[in-house]
Chains A and B, each alone.
Chain A
C-alpha cells in the first residue's frame, strides 16, 4: 500500500527547496548536502546582485557623488559667509530651517527651535543631504526669469538676484572653494540640478539607464537577461546641462557627462559563463529531486534504505572518474568551450565596427550574416559574400596543394635517403630535418625578411644577372598598370624588383611561391616519418621478391610504396586540417598580402580564412567580429566534421564501442 501523495509531497519539497525532501525522509546528511548547493546557488545570486537597493541614475555617471558631509559643509560655509556679509541671499538657510522643523531669523542670522533656543548649524539637529541640496538649487532655478529661453551661447539670465555672481555664489557656494572637485564633478552637479528642474528629462534618462535586471540582478539573473537582450542601453553623453554652463566656476569648463551604458560583449560573456555554471547546478538539482523521489518510494514500500554513509561511499566509488575529470572539465568548459561558444554566438549578431559597445550595442540578427555570405552580398559596404568564396577556394587550393607537395616531397626525399649508396645516412637525415626542428615561426619570419622587395634574395639574383634576363624577357620592368593579361600577366614578376610577396598585379605568382616555400617548412616531417616506416618494413619481403625475380624498381613499386603510403596516409587528413588553418605561413611571410583593403573586405590575395579572421578581429581599423565569427563557425563545421569522421574510422574509436 503506498501513499502516493506523500511521495509527491516530498519530491515537490525537494524540487522547491533542495534537500527538504531528504529531510522529510529523515536523511539529514544528504539533505544538508543538497541544501548546501541550494544555499550556494542562492548565495551567489544574492551576493552578486543588489536586490532591494534603490537604483540611482547618478551611479552611472562619471564624477564623485556629493556626500552628506559635503552637503552639510556647504550649509556651514554658506552660514558663515552670510555672517561675514559676503552673501545677502538667505533663502538656503530658510529652506534648511524649514526642512528640519526650525525657524531661521535672517536679521540675527540664527537658527532657533520651537522653544526659541538657538541651534548651531553644525549641530545634529540640522540634517541636510545631497538630495535636499539639489532640490533647493533646482527650485532656485525656477526663480530665474526667462529660463525657458536659455541658449548655449553664454547668455546671462535676468535675475531676481542682485547680481549674477551672487546667484552663482548661491549655486556653487561653499563647494566652489573645495580643491578636490574636478570638472567632471561640476558638470555632474549641473546635470543633477537640471534633472531636478526638468523632471521630464530626468524620467527619460532614468527609463533608459535604470534597468532592474542590469542594476539589481545577480550573477545568474543578470546572466540570463544579458544573453537574451545583449544589453538595452548604449552609452549616452548628457549635454543638456550646457545651457547652465555659465554657473561653472572659473578654471573649469563644461563637458558632456557620460552615462555608462551596457557592454553587450561582457553581458554575453557573463551570460555564457553563468549559464554554463547553471548547467552544473541543474545537474545537481535533478539528482536531488530524483533521490528524494526514489528514497520516498523505498520508504513507502518499507524497504531497507542504504545508510547515508554507505550512499556517499558508493557515490565516491562510482563518481571517481567524474571527480578526477572535474578540474580539467572545469578548465576546458570555461577556457576552451566558452570562447568557442561565444564565437559561435557572435556569428548571429551584428558585432562589427559600427556596433562597438558601449556606444553602439550589438544585437541578435539571426542568420543575417550567413545570408549576406551565401547571397554574395555586401555588409557595411564591404563585399563579404564574393570575397568569402574567393578566400575559401584559395584556402582549399592552398590546403590541398601544400599537403600534397609536402607529403610527396617528403616521400621522394625519404626514398632518396633510403638509397643504399648513401653513406652517413643519419647525418644527412639530421641535416635535412633542420627545417622541421627550427621553430616554424622563426623560419617564417626569416623568409619574410629574405624575400622582401629589396631583400637579400633579390640582391643576389640581381648580382648574378638573373634580373637582366628577366628585364630582357619583359617579366620585370613594366608597371602594375601595364602588367598585361593572360599568360603575360602570369609571367609578370614585378616592376623594379621581383615581388615575391607583394606582387599585386600577379597574385598567382605569390601564391605559387608560398606553396613552394612551404615545401621547405613541411617536407622534413614526412621525410623523417617515412624513413622510419621504411626501416621497419620486414626485410624478408624484399628477399622473397628478389627470389621471385623482382628488380629494384619493382620492389619499390610493389613493396615500399604501398606500405609507406598506407602507413602514413591517416596523417594526410591531420595535415590537411593543419594546413587549412596554417596561420603562420600566411601571416608571417606575406601578411595575407598583396592587397587587402576595404574593396576586398580586407582579405588579401594570399589570405586564407584563418588569417582573414585574424585581421578582421585584431586590426583596430577593421573590427568586423561578426563576420570573423561566421568564418570561424564555418571552419569549425568543415574541420570538426572532417576530423570527427576521420576519428570514427580509427581502430581506437572502434575499440571503445
Chain B
C-alpha cells in the first residue's frame, strides 16, 4: 500500500508543478494545450517558461512572483490533492474489476492485481466452458449476448417508430385531451416498469410469452414511450412552426409535413432516443430475471449477476470479464457524448 501513497504524493507534486507552470506561462501571454504538456516535465517546464522561452507580452515581476507565494502553492497543491484522491477513488473499482477479470481462479480475489494474469475468464466466456480446478464449468455468454443484442435492436426500432409520431402530434397540434394525455405520460414516466410485474407475468403467462426474450421488446417499447415523447416534443417545439405552415401552403398534408420536414429536422434527437433505447436492455435486470427461466435465454444483465449471486455458478473473474465486455462500449459512448446525454436527461425536467 505504501506504493500507492508515494504515487499519490508524486502526482500531487507533478500536477502542482504543471499548474504553476501554466499560471506563469499565462502571465507571459502564452496560450494553448502545449503549456500543459511541457508543464508535466519536472523543473524543466517551470524553467522553460520563466527563463528560456521569450515572453509574448511583458509581465509585471510582482505578478509573476505572486504565483510563488505560499498561499497559492498550497492552494494549488490542495486542489490537486483533492482531485487525485478522488481520481483514485473513482478508478479503484475499475482497476479492481480489470484485475479480477485476469484472475485464473474462480474465487474472490484478495489482491487488486493477480500474480499470474491470464485471459482464462475471457476464454471461458467465449468458449462456453472451462476447467476450474477439477470441475468443468459452463456458461451461455454468447447466447446471452445474442439475445440481448436482438432485444436491443428491436426495442430501438419500435421505440423510435412509436415515439416520433406521438411526439409530433403532441408538439404541433391542439386537440381534446392533450393536457390529460401529457399529464398521464408524465406520471407514467415516474414508474419503474416492474411495479406491474405480477400483471406482466400473468400477461405473458396468458399469451404464452414466458421464457421468450423477444417478448421483452413489448415492455421496453411501451416503457420508452412516456419519457421519450416528452423529450422529442420539447425538441420539436424548438423547430420553427413557420416551416410547417409554408409546407401547408404548398399543399402538403399533415403526414407529408411529418415525413418531409419534421423527421429530417429532428435527426439528432431521434438518434439520441435510438442510442438510449438500444442501451436499455443491456442494463435491465429485474424484468428478464422474472420472466425468463432457461439459462440460454437470459439476457446479459441476468447472466452476469448470477456469476456473483448464484451459489452454483459463482465465478468472479467471469463476472468481471463479462462486466468489462458489456461496460466498455457503453462507457465510451457515455464519455464521448456526455454533453448531449446530460442535456437530454435534463430536458425533461427543465424545458418540459
Contact = CB atoms under 8 A, between A and B. Distances in A.
Partners in one complex: yes
Contacts of B304: 442, 445
Interface string A329-357: 00110111111111100100001000000
Given A269-B206, A463-B1, A618-B290, 4 more contacts: A265-B198, A335-B221, A449-B100, A459-B111
Interface stretch (B47-55, B117-125, B139-147, B172-180): B172-180
A546 B180 CA distance: 50
B198 A328 contact: no
A438 B334 CA distance: 8
B1 A269 contact: no
Interface in B55-103: 72, 75-76, 79-80, 82-83, 86-87, 89-91, 93-94, 96-97, 100
Interface stretch (A215-223, A318-326, A391-399, A479-487): A318-326
A631 to B, nearest CB: 9
Nearest to A413: B86
A419 B87 CA distance: 17
A442 B100 CA distance: 14
B168 A570 contact: no
Given A335-B218, A434-B335, A439 B178 contact: no
A639 interface: yes
Given A421-B75, A423-B22, A529 B39 contact: no
Interface stretch (B128-136, B243-251, B265-273, B319-327): B319-327
B108 A441 contact: no
Interface in A443-497: 443, 445-450, 452, 454-456, 459-460, 463-464
A532 B342 CA distance: 10
Nearest to B304: A445
Interface string B295-322: 0000001001100100000001001100
Interface in B206-238: 206, 218-219, 221-223, 225-226, 229, 234
Interface stretch (A56-64, A145-153, A162-170, A425-433): A425-433
Given A644-B186, A647-B352, A635 B195 contact: yes
A446 B96 contact: yes
Contacts of B198: 265, 339, 342-343, 346, 351, 617, 625, 628-629
Nearest to B158: A331
Contacts of B22: 421, 423
B138 interface: no
Given A328-B225, A442-B323, A652-B234, A450 B285 contact: no
A445 B305 contact: yes
B331 A332 contact: no
A577 B331 CA distance: 25
A612 interface: no
Contact of A443 (B15, B23, B93): B93
Contact of B190 (A416, A525, A639, A651): A639
B335 A422 contact: no
Contacts of B168: 324
A656 B83 contact: no
B335 A614 contact: no
A613 B195 CA distance: 8
What 9 pairs across the A-B complex have the smallest Cβ distances?
Answer: A339-B196, A652-B352, A342-B199, A437-B334, A335-B222, A339-B199, A459-B110, A328-B166, A321-B175
Q: For A335, A428, A629, which residue has the most chain B Cβ atoms within 10 angstroms?
A: A335
Given A321-B175, A328-B165, A423 B19 contact: yes
Interface residues of B, number: 104
Interface in A506-537: 520, 525, 528-529, 532
B305 A588 contact: yes
A433 B342 CA distance: 11
A520 B90 contact: yes
Contacts of B109: 456
A139 interface: no
- Interface magnitude class on chain A: 35 or more
Given A446-B97, A640-B187, A339 B200 contact: yes
A327 B316 CA distance: 44
B221 A651 contact: no
B79 to A, nearest CB: 6
Interface string A574-616: 1001000101000010000000000000000000001001100
Nearest to A640: B187
Nearest to B222: A335
Given A421-B23, A463-B1, A432 B195 contact: no
Interface in A347-375: 351
Contact of A439 (B195, B225, B330): B330
B11 interface: no
A39 interface: no
Contact of A324 (B19, B166, B181, B226): B166
Contacts of B91: 431, 434
Contact of B351 (A335, A532, A651): A651
A439 B218 contact: no
A459 B96 CA distance: 13
B169 interface: yes
Contact of B222 (A332, A423, A440, A635): A332
B173 A321 contact: yes
Nearest to A319: B175
A419 B79 contact: yes
Nearest to A273: B203
A340 B90 contact: no
25 contacts: A320-B173, A324-B166, A328-B162, A335-B218, A339-B200, A413-B86, A421-B76, A423-B35, A423-B36, A431-B87, A433-B338, A437-B338, A438-B94, A439-B282, A441-B301, A460-B112, A571-B350, A574-B349, A614-B286, A625-B198, A639-B191, A640-B190, A647-B186, A653-B182, A656-B182
A445 B86 CA distance: 21
B339 A532 contact: yes
Nearest to A524: B90
Nearest to B234: A652
A441 B285 contact: yes
Interface in A134-168: none
A439 B196 contact: no
Q: For A270, A327, A332, A422, which residue has the most chain B Cβ atoms within 10 angstroms?
A: A332
Given A421-B23, A421-B75, A529-B346, A336 B225 contact: yes
A553 interface: no
Interface string A248-287: 0000000000000000011001100000000000000000
